[in-house]
Structure 1
Amino acid sequence: MVKSYPTQQFPSHEGVTKHLGRDIEVNDRVIFSDPWGTIEFKGTGVFIAGGAGITPFIAILRKLEQDGQLEGNRLFFSNKAREDVFLQGELFRMMGRAAVCTLTQEKHRDYEHGRIDKDWLQSRVDDYSQPFYVCGPPSMVDDLKSALKDLGAEVNSIVFEE
Structure 2
Amino acid sequence: MNSNTDQKNKLSTTTILENKEIAPGVFVLKYKKIKNFKPGQYIGLTTDLSVTPRLYTIASGVNSNEIQILYNIKDDGWLTPRLSEIKPGSDLYITDPEGSFIDNETPAWWIASGTGIAPFSAMFRSGLVKNKTLIHGGRYTHSFYFENEFIPILGKNYIRCCSQENAEGLFSGRLTRYLQDIKEIPGNCRFFLCGSPEMVVEVRDLLIKRGVEYDKIIAEIYF
TM-score, structure 1 as length reference: 0.78
Q: Which runs of 5+ in 2 are unaligned?
A: 1-17, 26-72
Q: Aligned-residue CA RMSD in angstroms?
A: 2.8
The aligned residue for residue 58 of structure 1 is 121
Q: Mind listing any 5+ residue stretches in structure 1 that lack a counterpart?
A: none
Verify: 1:92 aligned to 2:151, yes or no: yes
Q: 8 Å contact 2:163–2:172 — kept in the other structure?
A: yes
Distance 1:50 1:74 in 2: 14
Instruction: Name the structure 2 match of 1:44.
Output: 107
Q: What residue is the counterpart of 1:123 in the other structure?
A: 181
Question: In the superposition, relative to structure 1, how do residues 27 and 149 fare at CA in structure 2: closer, same or farther (>3 Å)?
Answer: same
Structure 1, 147-156 or 37-46: larger mean CA deviation: 37-46
Partner of 2:209: 150
Counterpart position of 1:80 = 139
Q: Does the 8 Å CA contact 2:75/2:81 hold for their aligned counterparts?
A: no
1:21 to 71, 81, 84: 84
Inter-CA distance 85–40: structure 2 relative to 1 (3 Å threshold)? same
Deviations 1:65-103 (A, max 9, x none): 5xxxx3321111111101122211210112111111111
Secondary structure class of the residue paired with 1:90: helix
How far residue 15 of structure 1 moved from its aligned partner, in angstroms, is: 9.0
> What is the aligned length?
154
Q: Deviations over 1:97-131 (max 9, x none)?
A: 111111111122231111111x5214334313410
Q: Which has the higher contact order (CA 8 A, sep 6+)?
A: 1
* Mapped pair 1:134 → 2:182: no
CA distance in 2 between partners of 1:129 and 1:15 (Å): 43
- Listed one character per residue, the Cα deviations across residues 9-45 of structure 1 (whole Å, up to 9, x for unaligned) are x8857595434125x4676532111345452005311
Contact 1:54 1:77 in 2 (8 A): yes
SS of the equivalent of 2:91 reads coil
What is the CA–CA distance in structure 2 between the aligned matches of 1:49 and 1:136, rounded to whole Å? 6
Taking structure 1 as reference, are residues 59 and 33 closer, same or farther at Cα in structure 2, changes over 3 Å only?
same
Q: Percent identity?
A: 24
SS of 2:84's equivalent?
A: helix
Richer in strand (by share): 2
Q: CA deviation at 1:135?
A: 0.6
2:24 pairs with 1:6: yes
| CA 138–100 in structure 1, closer or farther in 2 if over 3 Å, else same | same
